[in-house]
Amino acid sequence: MVEKFWYKVARTIAKAGGFPLPITDAYIELMQALLTEEQAKFILIFRKPKLNIDQLKAKTDLDEKSLITMLNELTHNGIITGIPSRRTGIMVYTLIGLIPGILESTFMKGTTGEREINLAHKYEKLFAKTTEITQNNYDNIINQYRKFPPFDRIVPVEEMIDIQQENILPYEDVKKLIETFDLISIGTCYCRHQKELLNDQCKRNAPKLTCFFLGRNAQFAIEHGAKQISKKDALLILKEAVNHGLVHKAIHANLNPENVEVTFCNCCKCCCITFQSYYRGMAPISSLTSYLANVDKDICIGCSTCVNICPTEAMELIEMISVINQNKCIGCGLCAYHCPEKAIKLKRTGPRNVFIPPPRIEQIKNIKV
């Protein structure tokens, strides 16, 4: 009965959305580390992921004071969010998925206590088990991943877009995207922090305060550990992120690019959960982008800067000239930005989904991260 109960809890979290992960013993162990039994029983109320306070009162036997205490505990621990409805102003509580969602909320505060260290190891165990399942059922699982929408949207390094030839859309321009939101907050990069808790430092020595929360999500994040920042400071942080070789990624509500952006990440190849899921053979890279890098062979000197900076290993030197694998290019613009000869430009393709299946286990030993 105990195992069945925690399986139901895990399924409830999984159905809330996000990165599709199989329910395993490692998944259930993580749930037991994240939730008390009382909290776990409570979240089973969320047969629909979004419920307002009146709906919650109707579904629970808790008195109002106990209910508010429960909701406060769950929002503080990053299991649910509480954000007022745009239409009515009534507080709506949303059960969030594991990734993106609970992982970010767990580590965005940057705390390093025993609980956080334990959770970092639980997540690592989950990733290892999920990798094993993917590798043992590779073709079937990768075909299932193809049915899911892109996990994130790549926003290119703006200086690398030829604005004389391109009609840049607002959502493709970092500055315009930032200007869209009246409220912006920033928290610790959960991916780099989780790695640090495992004593695995970022190979780029990248800053950790690089994860943005936007609009209504920014207010919620401020109430739970994030820091409000100005648009000017946001742009300075983004500039520093690019200098460290980090990829701009926008995350949309419900992972739907047609919805508003809710978070904005700056990701390194060595720590980012989506890049690491790929390199360890767990899951594909699946990103929406609108650009493709293009090399001017007459200018390229074969210095390999682009090869070293590319987060998807889409670049290689052939006869001392950089060549791009277009199927692996996510159009982030890091190669163009860091090219000392300015031999690379971004060309607009229009929206396209880059889907890169993860390496099979025999290929992983040849990957350098």
Average pLDDT of the segment spanning 324-337: 95
What integer pLDDT is reported at residue 87 of this predicted model?
78
∠ at Cα 342 (339, 346), nearest 5°? Answer: 90
Residue 159 has pLDDT above 80, yes or no: no
Residue 167 has pLDDT above 60, yes or no: no
Domain spanning 2-136, CATH class = mainly alpha
Residue 121 has pLDDT above 90, yes or no: yes
Residue 164 has pLDDT above 50, yes or no: no
Domain ranges of the chain: 2-136, 139-364
Express as a percent the part of the chain with pLDDT over 70. Answer: 93
Average pLDDT of the segment spanning 42-71: 92
Q: What is the largest distance, in Å, between two alpha-carbon atoms of the chain?
A: 73
Average pLDDT of the segment spanning 208-231: 91
Residue 366 has pLDDT above 60, yes or no: no
Residue 222 has pLDDT above 70, yes or no: yes
pLDDT digits (tens, 9 = 90+) for 225-245: 899 999 999 999 999 999 999
Determine which of 142-146, 178-182, 302-306, 324-328 has the lowest per-residue pLDDT on average.
Answer: 178-182
Average pLDDT of the segment spanning 95-124: 91
What integer pLDDT is reported at residue 230 of this predicted model?
95
pLDDT digits (tens, 9 = 90+) for 263-276: 899 999 999 999 99
Average pLDDT of the segment spanning 61-73: 94
Please choose, from the candidates 178, 175, 244, 176, the residue with its C-alpha nearest in 3D space to the C-alpha of residue 212. Answer: 178
Average pLDDT of the segment spanning 102-109: 87
SS3 state of residue 62: coil
The pair of three-digit structure tokens given for residue 127, joined into one six-digit string:
């990733």
Instruction: Report the chain's mean pLDDT, rounded to a whole number.
Output: 89
What integer pLDDT is reported at residue 86 of this predicted model?
76
Residue 163 has pLDDT above 80, yes or no: no
Name the residue with higher pLDDT: 216 or 123.
123
Alpha-carbon torsion (57, 81, 84, 110), positive or negative: positive
What integer pLDDT is reported at residue 363 of this predicted model?
61
Q: In whole angstroms, how far apart are CA 329 and each of 175, 215, 332, 340?
A: 23, 30, 8, 20
Q: What is the DSSP string of 107-176?
A: HTT---SHHHHHHHHHHHHHHHHHHHHHHHTHHHHHHHHTTSPPSEEE---GGGB-TTT----GGG-HHH
The pair of three-digit structure tokens given for residue 351, joined into one six-digit string:
């929206």
Residue 306 has pLDDT above 60, yes or no: yes
Average pLDDT of the segment spanning 127-140: 95
The model's pTM is 0.88
What integer pLDDT is reported at residue 1 of this predicted model?
58
User: Which contiguous run of DSSP H or E holds residue 350?
Assistant: strand 344-356
